[in-house]
Amino acid sequence: MASPRPPVSPLRRDPGRLRVLLSAYACIPGWGTEPGVGWNTVRLMAEHHDVWVLTYAGFRRAIEAELAERPVPGLHFVYHQLPRESPRHAEDGEFRSGLMEQAHYYAWQVSAARVARRLHAEVGFDVAHHVTFVKYWAPSALAGLNVPYIWGPVGGGESAPHPFYAAFSASGLRYERQRDVARGIADHDPLVRRTARRATLAFATTEETRARMEAIGARGVEVRSAIGLSEAEVASLARTPPPPAGPIRFLAIGRLIAFKGYRFGLQAFARALRDADVAGERALNGAEFWMLGEGPERASLQELARELGLGEHVRFLGHVPRPEALRLVGESHMLVHPSLHESGGGVCLEAMGAGRPVVCFDLGGSAVHVSPAAGVRVLADRPDDAVTRMAGVLRGLAADPERRAAMGRAGQATVRERFVWERKVADMAARYHELVDGPRPGGDGALHAAPSAVRLAGRAADPQPIA
């Protein structure tokens, strides 16, 4: 079920490069979200260390096609699938959905633990690191190895504020309830708790996840974002021209599912239009709300737009390729990202990199990634109050192009300083050396800061509370 590369002879070992085993169940070149986290981490880590990657066999074709065109020295892949698995999944890498995906991931981790132990016996790793899924509530195949083991960054500890549940569709509410139950079970799962206890270093994507990880036994958990953009992507986004003159265009990008909160974004947009009209303001004349993405909530969101009288103000553009999505970011004036819980939010980084302000709820990954200078994080305690606050923000930014431009510049600076993949991976590569060799004299002080100081380093501080 696995195809390990032959071990490297000890005589050929480079003392400056550690032997590292990375577990990246999701790892696909050119993708975003989870597969992108996996691919960018493993590809760039091979610049610093000799890397073996334990990944799902379904992604083999995509990975080997990429490596045939752009080889990466020092990078070895080990492909694993479950016994008697359907070729439709194991050969074509088709993602499952919902509970089926979660069950497959859990079983894969348990099964892959045997592969990890066998590979360690052959190669002799210095460090092991769980990379994807970015999820704390499942075991890791690497937790049983007798080497320093890094867990994360992992997320999944974020929850939608309970007052928002009443506005969810039946399917959206069912998902939230199932997720709550699954996490509750996982918190008592001995394999999950062992994964937490055995982590030499543990990273959480948000403060909410940090608290849950420590509650099940992880020690000294640090908050650290799991997502980023490459230097090339940052440079390309920085060349995005200012938005065209004309009506204000708000943009939302993502799967149309309940917890993404697009219902509240549309309500805030409708209220902003109404309030601006009552006040005789012209900044929102002809304003549009563009929605990129597909999902089970599309029909209900379209019906909501009709009920709100938004008519031609809202455009549902469906799923578009990433280059087209980035072009539409350039055509818009700001990103509206009202997600109620998620660990990442890569679209926020892309919008910031393109110099566009971000309006989001002060929850989860959005609160970590969007600095106060680069956007507005709206307190989300109760739905009606949150919609009112967001409407005021949209109305205010629409009327203030200078503030939007300043936020755009600040967002680009934030991305350059904190979210470039090459720097993030280089920093983690240095942490590997610290685990094996101890702290290096004269190193970056940020690498050696006490956990209590590092925990909040990933979150831009400001007086706004997280609800």
Model pLDDT, residue 389: 97
398 and 430 both lie in a single domain: no
Q: Which of 242, 243, 250, 244 is nearest to 397 (CA)?
A: 250
Strand-pair partners of 292:
253, 318
Question: Cα 31 to chain center, whole Å?
Answer: 12
Burial 258-282 (b: 16+ CB within 10 A, else e): bbbbbbbbbbbbbbbbebbeeeeee
Residue that has been written with the tokens 């708790």 in this structure: 193
Show the tokens assigned to 362.
């002060």
Q: How far is CA 223 from CA 113, 138, 201, 208, 323, in A?
A: 26, 19, 11, 10, 31
Percent of the chain with pLDDT over 90: 76
460, part of any domain: no
365 and 433 both lie in a single domain: no
212 and 237 both lie in a single domain: no
192 and 327 both lie in a single domain: no
**What angle is formed at CA 95 by the lines to CA 90 and CA 100, rounded to 5 degrees?**
95
240 and 378 both lie in a single domain: yes
Q: How far is CA 133 from CA 104, 212, 357, in A?
A: 12, 17, 29
387 and 437 both lie in a single domain: no
Distance CA 36, CA 41 (A): 8
96, part of any domain: yes
Distance CA 214, CA 123 (A): 32
Residue 141's φ and ψ, nearest 5 degrees, are -65, -15
Residues 60-83 pLDDT 10s: 999 999 999 999 999 999 999 998
147 and 262 both lie in a single domain: no
Model pLDDT, residue 87: 56
335, part of any domain: yes
**What angle is formed at CA 241 by the lines to CA 240 and CA 246, rounded to 5 degrees?**
130
Q: Which helix (H) or strand (E) holds 235?
A: helix 231-238
The CATH number given to whatever domain includes residue 18 is: 3.40.50.2000
If one counts the domains in the chain, the total is 2
302, part of any domain: yes
Model pLDDT, residue 466: 21
Q: Which domain holds residue 396?
A: 231-418
266 and 375 both lie in a single domain: yes
194 and 322 both lie in a single domain: no
Model pLDDT, residue 246: 82
Show the tokens assigned to 319.
């799923």
272 and 347 both lie in a single domain: yes
Distance CA 265, CA 262 (A): 5
- The conformational region for residue 335 under phi > 0 = left, psi -120 to 50 = alpha, else beta, is beta
Distance CA 53, CA 104 (A): 19
Model pLDDT, residue 440: 55
For residues 436 and 377, the answer to whether their CB atoms sit within 8 Å is no
For residues 248 and 283, the answer to whether their CB atoms sit within 8 Å is yes
Show the tokens assigned to 285.
């004349």
Residues of the chain where predicted confidence (pLDDT) is lower than 70: 1-13, 15, 86-98, 439-467
For residues 346 and 31, the answer to whether their CB atoms sit within 8 Å is no
Residue 290 in 3-state DSSP?
A: strand
459, part of any domain: no
Residue 293 in 3-state DSSP?
A: coil
What secondary structure letter does DSSP report for 244? P
Residues 224-248 pLDDT 10s: 999 999 999 999 999 999 998 889 9
Q: Which of 152, 336, 210 is nearest to 261 (CA)?
A: 336
222 and 141 both lie in a single domain: yes
201 and 261 both lie in a single domain: no
